């Protein structure tokens, strides 16, 4: 069995997230998603619209996702790759080069993001639209 692991906040779930998860799953037989906890997001200076448990439930309902685990620190990725016996580490290409150090444990792949959609864009659009009402 070929195991794939990826990480993210997955806030305001959108088509780009689904497409990334689908392509990640196509790289193997089992997809593990490390989901940023609320505390980890806070430490990064970010906040999610949906709390961790709601984001986790949404991810678990996606047919491409086999397991959701909490991401609590940047450093845990090496441990998770070993613990879950991941063969492939996948991230969006906006992270290109950031995780190359993991290539001693598994294959590292950066997938292209979906053009025209991102959580940041959605938040910006909602803020802009909100100002017109």
Mean pLDDT by runs of 10 across the 133 residues of the chain is: 96 87 98 97 90 97 98 96 98 95 98 76 72 54
Say what the pLDDT of residue 102 is. 98
Say what the pLDDT of residue 133 is. 46
Residue 76 structure tokens: 């845990």
| Catalytic residue, candidates 25, 44, 56, 131 | 44
Say what the pLDDT of residue 132 is. 55
| Catalytic residue, candidates 46, 79, 96, 123 | 46
Only one residue has tokens 């998860």, namely 21
Question: Looking at the DSSP assignment, which residues form a beta bridge with residue 70?
Answer: 35
| pTM of the predicted structure, to 2 decimals | 0.88
Known catalytic residue: 25?
A: no
Residue 63 structure tokens: 């047919």
Rg, the chain, Cα only: 15
Known catalytic residue: 44?
A: yes
Contacts by 50-56, CB closer than 8 A, 24 or more apart: 50/11, 50/12, 55/9, 55/10, 55/11, 55/13
Answer for the pair 96, 114: CB distance below 8 angstroms, yes or no. no
CB atoms within 10 A of CB 100: 11
DSSP annotation of 45 reads T
Q: In a 10 Å sphere around its CB, with 0-12 CB exposed, 13-18 middle and 19+ buried, how is residue 39 labelled? A: exposed
Main-chain phi, psi angles of 36, to 5 degrees? -55, 130
In the chain, the N- to C-terminal Cα span, in Å, equals 52
């Amino acid at each position: 069995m070929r195991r794939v692991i990826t990480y993210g906040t997955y806030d305001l779930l959108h088509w780009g997230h689904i497409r990334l998860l689908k392509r990640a799953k196509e790289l193997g037989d089992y997809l593990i998603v490390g989901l940023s906890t609320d505390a980890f997001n806070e430490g990064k200076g970010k906040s999610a619209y949906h709390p961790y448990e709601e984001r986790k439930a949404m991810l678990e309902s996606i047919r491409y996702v086999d397991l959701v685990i909490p991401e609590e620190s940047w450093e845990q990725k090496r441990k998770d790759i070993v613990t879950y016996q991941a063969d492939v580490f996948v991230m969006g290409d906006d992270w290109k080069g950031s995780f190359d150090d993991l290539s001693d444990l598994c294959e590292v792949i950066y997938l292209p993001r979906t053009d025209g959609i991102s959580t940041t864009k959605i938040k910006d659009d909602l803020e802009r639209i909100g100002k017109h009402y």
